[in-house]
Every structure is written in structure tokens, then in C-alpha cells.
Amino acid sequence: MSDDILAETRSLTVDFLNGPDFLRALDGVDLTIHKGEFVSLVGVSGSGKTTLLNAIGGLIVPTSGSIIFNSIRFDSMSEEERTIFRRNHIGFIFQNFNLIPSLNIFQNICFSAQLSQKPITAQQVEKIAQQLGIEDKLSRMPAELSGGQQQRAAIARAMLARPSLLLADEPTGSLDSLNGKSIMQLLRKAVSENNMSVLMATHNEEFASQTDRMIHIEDGKIIAEESRK
Ligand SMILES: Nc1ncnc2c1ncn2[C@@H]1O[C@H](COP(=O)(O)OP(=O)(O)OP(=O)(O)O)[C@@H](O)[C@H]1O
Ligand SMILES: [Mg+2]
């Protein structure tokens, strides 16, 4: 595995039980993500974007195929090893945000960094909240925020933990175009300054076209790739 490769999937297949049958959500996906690369994943609803992010992030176990992370076979780790690895190396921005309802926004933003025992300061939390325009919401509970504000809190939480790979599922999906643009700038900055890799599922063609590589997925298969670097 070459030094600049962060993660690779080989023949990744995921079947879901769908009544008496199986539904093949991913069908032999071969994908390579380089260090410091910003990759977008585009495809119609139901094409397998979220499934691919969840499989790469170890949230679902693939039916077959492999995921190799920094030369380590991720899919053959024990559940416990995988959890620890995920905490230390992978960040998620979920399609439905997944903020913890019983914690306020400040505590939510700190949560992932604390789990992976990465030191953060109140100033860092305030700075990223300010960049995302939610600095006045830090003492609020998630249910008191709009969808777009919750999404920005989820982005702050993932970014502060400084993962090697950030899996972002429609990170601009609940935002207007101005806020969407500032999220794109923030992601780009994380990629160029911290050598973070980002895999972002999106329906937004304009944002996808600003990434280093655009992957098209259809019926669980990669059907095309466009490189811009
Ligand atoms: N837990 C599950 N159980 C059964 N089927 C599932 C499950 N999760 C996803 N699927 C199915 O797998 C396929 C891919 O779903 P996925 O959520 O990955 O699509 P997506 O590309 O993220 O769509 P969207 O753009 O709407 O978010 C769909 O047909 C979906 O119904
Ligand atoms: Mg999805």
C-alpha cells in the first residue's frame, strides 16, 4: 500500500435483509482515498452513499470484501478494536446529525474529541462555533436549534476531534447556499491545513465539483470518477 493512501476498499459488498430477500446496497466497491484528499460521492437517493460511508467508518460490517486503513484490515478487527480505532481516526457528520439530546451544544461539540482523549480548550470550541455562526447557541439544547444549526454543531463536533478521515453525509443538506459555502471552505481548510481526508456524500453538484475527485455511485456500484487535481 503506497504511503499516501489512507484508506482502501476492495470488492466491498453490503447486503441488507429486505423481507424474505436481500437487497444489495453496495456491490463490489473498490475505492482508494489518499491522505489530504477531498473526495465527493454523488448519486441518486438510494444509490448507496450512506451505506458506503457507514461501511468505511466501521458502523456496519460488510457482507464481503475488505477495508484497509493505514495498511490495517479494518473489517477483521474485533468489535472493541474497531470502536477504539474509529474514535481515534474517523469522524462522522451524519445525515441526521446525531447530536446527543441530553447534552447542550457546547458539550455536544466537545464530545468526540473527549471520547478520543484529544485535548481541546473552551476557546477552540468558541472559535469553531463562531466560524459556523452558532456561537450564541452553545448553552442551548439540540432540540432548541433549527435543523441547519444542529447540522453545524455536528460539523463542529467532528472537526474538533481532528480525525484522519472525515466521513460527511450531506453536510450541507440542511443549509442555505451561504452556510453551505462556508462549510465547504471549512472542509477545504481542514484538508489543506491538517492533511485531513474527507469523503463527502452530497446531492449538490456545485459543491461536488469543487472537490479533488468526484465519485459517481449507482445501484451500489462506482460507475465513474472525475479527478480535478
Ligand atoms: N438498514 C437497512 N436495512 C435495509 N435496507 C437498507 C438499510 N439501509 C439502507 N438500505 C437500503 O440500501 C440502499 C442504499 O441506501 P443508502 O441509505 O445507502 O442510500 P443513499 O445513497 O445514502 O440515499 P440518500 O441520498 O437518500 O441518502 C437503499 O435501497 C436503502 O433502502
Ligand atoms: Mg444517504
Q: What pLDDT, on a 0 to 100 scale, did the predictor assign at position 178?
A: 87
Q: How confident is the model at residue 171 (pLDDT cuts 50, 70, 90)?
A: very high
CA-proximal residue: ligand 1, atom 11 (nearest): 25
CA-proximal residue: ligand 1, atom 4 (nearest): 16
Which residues have a Cβ under 8 Å from the Cβ of 53 and sit 6 or more positions away?
41, 92, 167, 168, 169, 199, 201
158 CA distance to ligand 2 middle (Å): 18
Could you give phi then psi for residue 9, rounded to 5 degrees?
Answer: -115, 145
pLDDT at 74 over 90: no
Place of cell 474485533: 78
Cβ of residue 42 lying under 6 Å from some atom of ligand 1: no
Q: What pLDDT, on a 0 to 100 scale, did the predictor assign at position 2?
A: 67
Contact assessment for residue 125 and residue 110, using Cβ atoms and an 8 Å cutoff: yes
pLDDT at 41 over 80: yes
Set out the domains of the chain in order of their start, with CATH numbers.
Answer: 37-60+83-227 (3.40.50.300)
CA-proximal residue: ligand 1, atom 17 (nearest): 50
Choose between 97 and 50: higher pLDDT: 50
Q: What pLDDT, on a 0 to 100 scale, did the predictor assign at position 96?
A: 87
pLDDT at 1 over 60: no
Q: What pLDDT, on a 0 to 100 scale, did the predictor assign at position 101?
A: 97
Distance of CA 60 to the CA centre of its chain: 14
Cβ of residue 54 lying under 6 Å from some atom of ligand 1: no
CB atoms near residue 63 (< 10 Å): 15
* Nearest atom within ligand 1 for CA of residue 170: 27
Q: What pLDDT, on a 0 to 100 scale, did the predictor assign at position 73?
A: 86
Return the amino acid letter for 128. I
17 CA distance to ligand 1 middle (Å): 12
What is the spatial distance between Cα 139 and Cα 181, in angstroms, rounded to a whole number?
A: 26
pTM given for the model: 0.93
Choose between 116 and 213: higher pLDDT: 213
Contact assessment for residue 182 and residue 154, using Cβ atoms and an 8 Å cutoff: no
Q: What pLDDT, on a 0 to 100 scale, did the predictor assign at position 145?
A: 95
Q: In what order do the strands lie in the sheet with 72-73?
A: 21-34, 5-18, 64-69, 72-73
Contact assessment for residue 161 and residue 131, using Cβ atoms and an 8 Å cutoff: no
What is the spatial distance between Cα 222 and Cα 101, in angstroms, rounded to a whole number?
A: 36
Cβ of residue 45 lying under 6 Å from some atom of ligand 1: yes
Per residue in 144-161, pLDDT tens? 999 999 999 999 999 999
